[in-house]
């Protein structure tokens, strides 16, 4: 079982919908990450939170809005997405100051 839990596993949404992806870890990690992965490509970093504060935003469009309500939870709010945003969204966590160590199973997102 993965120690980073992501929900939902699959999500299909229209371009006008608002939805959220959720990530949870209880390892006491203070850094959490969102990655986007297109088919047959390596993961691409989107956001990094360190001690519940956004530390890195890799020029991600504003239709993706991250939130870290506490040290165990990381959300990614989605609004007005485009078909090209269809991808696997991976959450990861690590101790602060080191790269990701644990990955979730991902949410497979399809935009109609």
Residue ranges that bind other proteins, judged by CB under 8 A: 2, 37, 40-43, 45, 88, 90, 92, 97-106, 108
Nearest approach, Cβ of residue 42 and other proteins (Å)? 4
Closest to other proteins by CB, 43 vs 66, is 43
CA distances (Å), origin 36, targets 19, 23, 28, 52: 16, 14, 24, 20
Closest to other proteins by CB, 66 vs 100, is 100
Closest to other proteins by CB, 10 vs 70, is 10
Nearest approach, Cβ of residue 105 and other proteins (Å)? 3
Residues 37-71: b if buried by 16+ CB within 10 A, e if exposed: eeeeeebebbbbbbeeeeeeeeebeeebebebeeb
Pairing mode, strands 87-94 and 73-79? unpaired
Nearest approach, Cβ of residue 43 and other proteins (Å)? 6
């Amino acid at each position: 079982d993965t120690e980073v839990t992501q929900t939902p596993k699959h999500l299909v949404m229209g371009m006008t919908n608002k939805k959220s992806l959720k990530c949870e870890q209880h390892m006491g990690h203070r850094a959490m990450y969102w990655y986007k992965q297109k088919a047959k490509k390596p993961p691409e970093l989107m956001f990094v939170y360190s001690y519940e504060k956004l530390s890195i935003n890799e020029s991600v469009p504003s239709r993706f809005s991250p939130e870290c309500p506490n040290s165990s939870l990381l959300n990614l709010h989605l609004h007005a997405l485009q078909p090209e945003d269809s991808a696997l969204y991976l959450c990861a966590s690590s101790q602060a100051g080191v790269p990701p160590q644990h990955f979730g199973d991902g949410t497979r997102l399809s935009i109609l």
